[in-house]
Amino acid sequence: NAGVTQTPKFQVLKTGQSMTLQCAQDMNHEYMSWYRQDPGMGLRLIHYSVGAGITDQGEVPNGYNVSRSTTEDFPLRLLSAAPSQTSVYFCASRAGSLATDTQYFGPGTRLTVL
Amino acid sequence: GENVEQHPSTLSVQEGDSAVIKCTYSDSASNYFPWYKQELGKRPQLIIDIRSNVGEKKDQRIAVTLNKTAKHFSLHITETQPEDSAVYFCAASMGSGYSTLTFGKGTMLLVSP
């Protein structure tokens, strides 16, 4: 199993551009989530999904959209990038409905918005 | 919502010493407390977790203790080694349903040879 994969690894955008960060998992996990990591701020939840067709907002959802059309994929969309969205983005998944299931992280995407 | 405070933000120790990282949480309904280790440029990885029906859990050189009355939990690393150098995150959740994890801001542990 590849586990949780993310593409791209690095991305530079200009203010106002849009892009999609890709996340996929091959473990048939129900629960997937997106975090952003900023220096000194820890990991903050952006959006999460408990299954195909179901998404919800986390702590810092503004400026980001998500959808979950399949169990495997959970893309994160930036509609109009801003410098404040410069960060490292991690996708994560866990097996099911129990928060005590181990959460596995992807390798991350480092995004710079100029 | 849940709030997790983590201290210290940086911790420097000599190889062989012990290291202790402490976290407090605000929501008394939280009952699942994992710890993640993140090496430089890598993804966070679960190293140990504890549930509210347990006061202490050990795994070789690492241990976690939980005090539900005081709403705090701690990570203890004994006989530290240079490869223990990393950022450590604590987290908390209600542990039921589709509860989300709330993370602390992290502790950078530096172990000097």
Map A3-56 to HEC letters. CEEEECCEEEECCCCCEEEEEEECCCCCEEEEEEEECCCEEEEEEEEEECCEEE
Question: Contact A99/B46, CB-based, under 8 Å?
Answer: no
Distance from CA of B40 to the nearest CA of A (A): 12
Does the beta-carbon distance from B105 to A50 stay under 8 Å? no
Q: Going by DSSP bridges, is the β-strand pair A104-105/A87-94 parallel, antiparallel, or unpaired?
A: antiparallel
What pLDDT is recorded for position B59? Answer: 94
Q: Which of A42, A50, A99 faces B104 most closely, judged by CB atoms?
A: A42
Cβ within 8 Å of residue A114, ≥6 positions away: A12, A13, A14, A15, A83
pLDDT in tens, A71-94: 999 999 999 999 999 999 999 999
Under an 8 A CB cutoff, do A103 and B34 touch?
yes
Q: How far apart are CA B10 and CA B46, in angstroms?
A: 20
Instruction: Answer yes or no: is pLDDT of B46 > 70.
Output: yes
Which residues of chain B have a CB within 8 Å of the CB of A97? 97-98
Cβ <8 Å between A33 and B100: yes
Write the residue in A33, A42, A99 that is nearest to B32 by C-beta.
Answer: A99
Chain B residue numbers with beta carbons less than 8 Å from the beta carbon of A59 are: 1, 102
Name the band, by pLDDT with cuts 50, 70 and 90, for residue B95.
Answer: low
All residues of chain A having their beta carbon less than 8 Å from the beta carbon of residue B94 are 99
pLDDT of residue B43: 96
How far is CA A38 from its chain centroid? 14
Q: How confident is the model at residue B97 (pLDDT cuts 50, 70, 90)?
A: low
Q: Which of B25, B45, B24 is nearest to B35 (CA)?
A: B45
Least confident residue range of A16-25, A53-62, B25-34, B87-96: B87-96
Report the percentage of chain B scoring pLDDT > 90: 84
Long-range CB contacts (< 8 A, 24+ apart) of A47-53? A47/A76, A48/B98, A48/B100, A49/A74, A50/A97, A50/B98
% of chain A at pLDDT higher than 90? 86
**Paired residues of A41 in beta bridges:** none
| Mean pLDDT (whole number) for B74-100 | 91
**Which tens digits make up the pLDDT trace of A24-44?**
999 999 999 999 999 888 999
With beta carbons less than 8 A apart as the criterion, state whether A13 and B77 touch. no
**Helix, strand, coil: what percent of chain B each, to 5?**
5, 55, 40
pLDDT for B54 equals 79
User: Is the confidence at residue A97, as pLDDT, over 70?
Assistant: no
